[in-house]
């Protein structure tokens, strides 16, 4: 027993003389700085930031509306459906002196531009491919009738004012069944060599061949008008000289959401190196790059980004354009928080070598192979 006394005395003395630094009553200090100058770490990838995101923009949606839709593979298709001429059966009756016998009623020439949004986009150098045009007529009578004339289709290069397609389609003595809507008069695909939308569709030398006592043949359903309708659709492709002046549409500033969780490292300066991979057949220039933070992403003015201009090479889904980039990010105050978005000023032109590549909502820009050189130390697990 006597040999054990010194051991307990030593234990008691060590406990009594314990430095306050190791006192755990107030909790452990969990803050650890991993390095003092700089270190390189991978920060993952982000994106893609696709055309689908751009089309969800309220301004874009308001301009393009329902005229832009997509197919199953994401390819963008422009569709328009319009009524380009109508005449009331009662107007014909009022201008016809004798309806006791079958009679003919000539119609003055009419012209119409049927291609909607696709026509607007071609003004900025985009091309229309896989073009399809359909013209139909509605019959308000309970009796069939025939009509004759021709449809004249003209496509014009809107920048050079040169006709690239000029074709007449004679449609003589077409019989329109009674009480029928959307009876096809013309259903055609434009030649693949024509990359400009129809600028004019003309109804020329038309004549209705109508039955006797037409006033008794009007539909009981209440429809009283002969109407001519068009349906037009095509895919949109980047032309060799495509350029979108986004500022003209009030879209010079575009914001994109994404998640780059770097805030937990608590550093003040980052030199980020990464590759921008672009599947758009367009060269994209980013100016005035600003980073966004917060759950509802907002521009963080405490974060400075340089360089202020980035040019991203274009490509396609099978051959993406790749652009290596080095970006410097500094925090004016505190440390860099999680980055949840970016705001940029965009300009877009065709990428060399990718003319007539169809646009898809799946095309866009991705951040690949990203790494960061962090300066000022990484502090982990600091008590807030």
Enter the tokens of residue 58. Answer: 């309220």
d(CA 346, CA 247): 9
Q: How far apart are the first and last CA of the chain?
A: 51
What's the number of domains the chain is made of? Answer: 2
Residues 310-325 have a mean pLDDT of 92
104, two tokens: 């003919």
Q: 255 and 230 in one domain?
A: no
**Residue 280's domain is classified under what CATH number?**
2.60.120
Cβ atoms of 340 and 294 within 8 Å: the answer is: yes
% pLDDT > 70, the chain: 77
In a domain, 232, yes or no: yes
Domain ranges, residue 118: 67-236
Residues 213 and 271 in one domain: no
Domain boundary among the residues 212, 236, 260 is at: 236
Give the pLDDT score at 254: 75
Q: Is residue 23 part of a domain?
A: no
Which tens digits make up the pLDDT trace of 159-206?
Answer: 778 889 999 999 877 888 888 888 888 999 999 999 889 988 998 888
Q: What is the pLDDT of residues 103-126, one digit of tens each?
A: 999 988 888 887 677 887 888 888
State residue 171 phi and psi, 5-degree precision: -130, 85
Distance between CA atoms of residues 289 and 286, nearest Å? 7
């Amino acid at each position: 027993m006597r040999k054990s006394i010194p051991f307990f005395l030593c234990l008691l003395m060590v406990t009594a003389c314990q430095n306050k630094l190791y006192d755990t009553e107030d909790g452990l200090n969990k803050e650890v700085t991993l390095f003092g100058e700089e270190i390189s770490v991978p920060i993952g990838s982000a994106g893609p930031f696709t055309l689908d995101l751009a089309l969800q923009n309220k301004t874009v949606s308001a301009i393009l509306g329902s005229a832009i839709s997509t197919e199953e593979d994401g390819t963008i298709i422009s569709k328009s459906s319009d009524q380009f001429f109508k005449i009331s059966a009662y107007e014909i009756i009022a201008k016809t002196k004798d309806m006791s016998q079958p009679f003919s009623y000539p119609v003055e020439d009419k012209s119409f531009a049927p291609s909607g949004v696709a026509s607007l986009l071609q003004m900025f150098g985009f091309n229309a491919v896989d073009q399809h045009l359909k013209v139909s007529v509605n019959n308000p009578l309970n009796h069939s009738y025939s009509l004759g004339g021709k449809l004249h289709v003209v496509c014009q290069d809107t920048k050079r004012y040169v006709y690239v397609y000029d074709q007449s389609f004679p449609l003589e003595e077409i019989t329109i069944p009674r009480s029928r809507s959307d009876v096809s008069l013309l259903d055609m695909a434009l030649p693949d060599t024509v990359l400009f939308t129809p600028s004019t569709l003309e109804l020329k030398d038309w004549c209705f061949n109508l039955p006797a006592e037409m006033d008794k043949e009007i539909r009981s359903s209440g429809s009283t008008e002969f109407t001519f309708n068009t349906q037009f659709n095509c895919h949109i492709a980047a032309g060799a000289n495509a350029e979108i002046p986004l500022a003209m549409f009030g879209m010079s500033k575009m914001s994109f959401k994404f998640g780059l969780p770097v805030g937990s490292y608590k550093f003040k300066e980052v030199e980020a190196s990464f590759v921008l991979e672009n599947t758009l057949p367009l060269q994209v220039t980013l100016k005035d790059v600003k980073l966004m933070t917060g759950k509802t992403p907002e521009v963080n003015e405490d974060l400075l980004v340089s360089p202020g201009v980035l040019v991203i090479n274009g490509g396609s889904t099978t051959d993406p354009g790749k652009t290596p980039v080095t970006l410097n990010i500094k925090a004016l105050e505190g440390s860099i928080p999680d980055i949840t978005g970016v705001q940029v000023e965009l300009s877009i032109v065709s990428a060399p070598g990718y003319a007539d590549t169809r646009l898809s909502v799946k095309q866009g820009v991705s951040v690949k192979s990203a790494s960061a050189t962090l300066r000022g130390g990484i502090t982990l697990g600091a008590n807030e």
